[in-house]
Every structure is written in structure tokens, then in C-alpha cells.
Amino acid sequence: MHASIAVLPGDGIGPEVTSEAVHILHAVAQRWGHAFDVEEGLIGGCAIDATGEPLPAETSRLAFRADAVLLGAVGGPRWSDPDASVRPEQGLLGLRQALGVYANLRPISVHPALSAASPVKADRLVGVDILFVRELTGGIYFGEKTRQPLLGGERATDLCVYTTEEIERVVRIAARLARERRRRLTSVDKANVLETSRLWRRVTDRVMHDEFPDVTLDHVLVDACAMRLVQAPATFDVVVTENLFGDILTDEASMLAGSIGMLPSASLGEAPWWSEDAPGPTTRPGLYEPVHGSAPDIAGRGVANPIGAILSVGMLLRHSLGLTEEARAVEQAVNAVVADGWGTPDIAVSDGLRCTTRELAERIAGRLVEQRDDVATHAVGSNETTQVA
């Protein structure tokens, strides 16, 4: 396969983790004989410094030309004034909206070697395997905002808006994913208070009844969901929710895995390659990024965990390029290294197994090579005639 990948390192630890993720991408290309053309662009704070804009026009063009987009992180103290008219986060929100990537997939699982790193009791982490599907381009983040002077102060508003179509399309993606897993879908809302949540619940009920009768649906209020994520996280399969709730709940759920640095995400738009009604690849490039932020306090120290970015490459291979075997190999390489106890300071099981960002990525790349060698050895020792690339 020949594919083009736009890489937007961004700010803080973004350049460090994306550099290692690209290293893994090249290792995959070498092992399977693919060609990945990688081109970098500016986004976020560094883009503001260079061009005055958080999402320069050239970055948008680069993203649209690519088959997939890999992003690091945006933001930092230099651009943290919430009253500034231009902010790094505007670049990320603008890119999501421009690409039309309305479904954000965030898998949460707990590696047995890291259960002690989680603040949640180990017995509650057994069997945790959650896939969050967060609506990404609607809701309060994109609604009209106002601020007006008021006697003695100010008055601010943020409008939360959802349409039937926006809810239908993200619920369909979540239900299809649930159908491929344990056939359970949890929809999270605040229907006892919010009108947007009442619409969300009505639309979800109809879509599931008419199109996915084989998937079990339950509704959970967002506050109850937050408690259940701590009390009984293994009871969730696929969770679908709106933009703000999804942002908050997935950050909470990231602590189940022991470190937010472990978690990848994929943001997808129309007709993903794996969907039932689309035989081809995505009509627009998917956007892939680790869940963590820019972590400016550790930037440049070589201690950032690259696994979230590396697993985002795995999701890129699977969802945008259709390379399931390669995606699985990346995930297996990560799991093997973590099982051996190696990690950056946030996940290392002992000081003696503590790695730098680069060293951890090198160990994961090494596991990819070992997998190839293991396959080759097996093929030579058997009667199979399958050629090993």
C-alpha cells in the first residue's frame, strides 16, 4: 500500500510522541512492504507563533490531501489566556469540523501489568474493555457564545445544540461497533434536565429499535455513569454520548488504565471502511491522536509516554487504511513490552525498567521485528508454502 499521512505534532510533548509514533509507522511499512509518505504541518500554539493562526490554511490543505492525519497535542502556558481571541484549541476544533470527523472512538482497557498504577481497586479492573464513542462536532463546544456586561458584572452564555441527524449518525456508528463486540450499547445523557438530552434519548431509542434490535440498549444519566465508571467499569461495553459529556467521562475513564498516556483515539467521519454501507475507505481522512494533552511540565525531558500516540497509529492503520493485521501487530507489540514491565515513569513497574520516550518506542519497534522473525521461523519449520514478507 502507498498512503500519505499528515503529521501535526503541535505543542508541548506533541512533537516527542508523534516522532515515536511515526517511527513505528515506518517500522510497519518496512515489515509489510508499504510506503507511507509523511508530511508535517503546524497546528495550535506553534502555528499561532509562526503564522498568527491556530489552523493555517496550508495545514488544512495538507490534511485534506492526506489519507489520514496524526496529531500530537495543542496548547500550553504561553497561550493559556482564556480571554485571548486566538487560542491553540481553536485549531483542533476547527480541524475536526473541517474534516467532518463527528465520531471520536476512545478505547479503554486495563493491562494486567498496570492495574497497580490505577487509583481504582484492582478487583474492579478485571475485564474492563470499554469503547467510548463521543460525538465530536456538535453540542456546547460549537454552539453560539456570548458575553455581555451586566450591572455589577457580566453575563455569559454557551448554546448547546443537537439535531436529529447529528445524533442518528453517531449512534449508528456506536451500534455497529457494539454489534462487533458484546452487543451492548450504553447511551449517556442528562434527559432529566436538558432538552438536548431528551432529543438524544428519543432519537437513540428509535435508531436502535428500527435498525439494531440485536444490540441491547440502556440509558444512563451522566452523573450515574461517572459513578459507575469507578464502581463497576467492567459492566460497560460501548458507550455513546455527546461532546461535553464524552470529553469529561473519557478523561475520568483514562485513570482506569493507570495513565492517560496509554490511551489512543480515532476521529472518523462519513463512511468508514469497516461500515456495513461503505465498501471503500473513508471519504475524508480520519484524525488520530493520543487522548492526553500537551503536558508542558514534562516537555523536552524525554519522559513522555508515547504509547497513546503509537496505539493511535494502530487505529489509523485499521480504520483509515484497512490494514487490520498491521494494526493488531502494533497492539501486540505494545502489550508485550508493557507485560515485561518496561515503561516511561508513569507506567514503569520498577525504576530498573524505566525508559525514556525514545527507548520505549525502540522496544516496541523491536517487538514488531521479533514478531516477523517468529512468523518466519514457524513458516520454515512447517509444511506451509506461504511466503513470509
**Mean predicted confidence (pLDDT) in 202-229:** 98
For residue 49, indicate whether it is catalytic.
no
Q: Is 389 a residue whose pLDDT tops 50?
A: no
Give the active site residue among 129, 158, 205, 251. Answer: 251
Q: Using pLDDT thresholds of 50, 70 and 90, give the confidence band for residue 216.
A: very high
pLDDT of res. 209: 98
Phi-psi region of 12 (alpha: psi -120 to 50; beta: other; left: phi over 0): left
What stretch(es) of the chain map to CATH 3.40.718.10? 1-101+284-389, 111-259
CB–CB of 325/332 below 8 Å?
Answer: no
Check residue 276 and give its pLDDT: 46
CA–centroid distance for 239 within its chain = 14
In this predicted model, which residue has the larger pLDDT, 180 or 369? 180
Q: With 60 as the cut, is the pLDDT of residue 387 above it?
A: no
Per-residue confidence (pLDDT) for residue 370, from 0 to 100: 83
pLDDT value at residue 80: 87
Percentage of the chain beyond pLDDT 70 is 92
Query: Would residue 37 show up in a list of annotated catalytic residues for this protein?
Result: no
Question: What is the CATH class of 1-101+284-389?
Answer: alpha beta
Mean residue pLDDT across the chain: 91
Q: Around 78, how many Cα atoms within 13 Å sit in the side-chain half-sphere?
A: 15
pLDDT tens-place string over residues 79-106:
988 888 999 999 999 999 899 999 999 9
Q: Report whether 90 contacts 54 (CB < 8 A).
A: yes
> Is 279's pLDDT higher than 70?
no
Residue type, 322: G
pLDDT score of 373:
57
Active site residue 141: yes
Share of the chain above pLDDT 90, in %: 85
- With a cut of 50, say whether residue 138 has pLDDT above it: yes
What are the pLDDT digits (tens) for 6-63? 999 999 999 999 999 999 999 999 999 999 999 999 999 999 999 999 999 999 999 9
Q: What is the pTM of this model?
A: 0.88
Residues 361 and 333: beta-carbon distance below 8 Å: no
Confirm if 309 and 360 have CB atoms less than 8 A apart.
no
Whether the pLDDT of residue 273 is over 50: the answer is: no
Residue 384 clears pLDDT 70, i.e. is over it: no
**Cβ contact 341:300 at 8 Å:** no
Give the amino acid at 22.
V
Phi-psi region of 196 (alpha: psi -120 to 50; beta: other; left: phi over 0): alpha
Q: Is the pLDDT of residue 375 over 70?
A: no
Mean pLDDT, range 336-352, rounded to an integer: 93
| Average pLDDT value for residue range 242-266 | 94
* Residue 284's pLDDT band (cuts 50, 70, 90): low
Q: Which one is catalytic: 81, 223, 373, 374?
A: 223
| Whether the Cβ atoms of residue 262 and residue 106 lie closer than 8 Å to each other | no
- 380 class by beta-carbon count within 10 Å (0-12 exposed, 13-18 middle, 19+ buried): exposed
Q: Which among 102, 189, 190, 346 is annotated as catalytic?
A: 190
> Rounded distance, CA 236 to CA 250, Å?
13
Q: How far is CA 121 from CA 147, 312, 335, in A?
A: 44, 27, 21
Q: How confident is the model at residue 346 (pLDDT cuts 50, 70, 90)?
A: very high
- State the fold for domain 111-259: Isopropylmalate Dehydrogenase (3.40.718)
Residue 285's pLDDT is: 85
Give yes or no: 123 in active site: no
Q: pLDDT higher for 5 or 152?
A: 5
- Is residue 223 part of the annotated active site? The answer reads yes
Q: What is the pLDDT of residue 135?
A: 97
Asked whether the predicted pLDDT for residue 140 surpasses 90, the reply is yes
Question: Considering 129, 158, 205, 247, which one is annotated as catalytic?
Answer: 247
* CA distances (Å), origin 237, targets 61, 147, 164: 37, 40, 24
Residue 277 pLDDT > 60, yes or no?
Answer: no
Backbone angles phi, psi at 130, to 5 degrees: -115, 140
Measured CA to CA, the distance from residue 373 to residue 388 in angstroms comes to 10
Q: Which pLDDT does position 372 carry in this prediction?
A: 64
Cβ atoms within 10 A of the Cβ of 98, count?
16
Among the listed residues 141, 237, 288, 346, the single catalytic one is 141
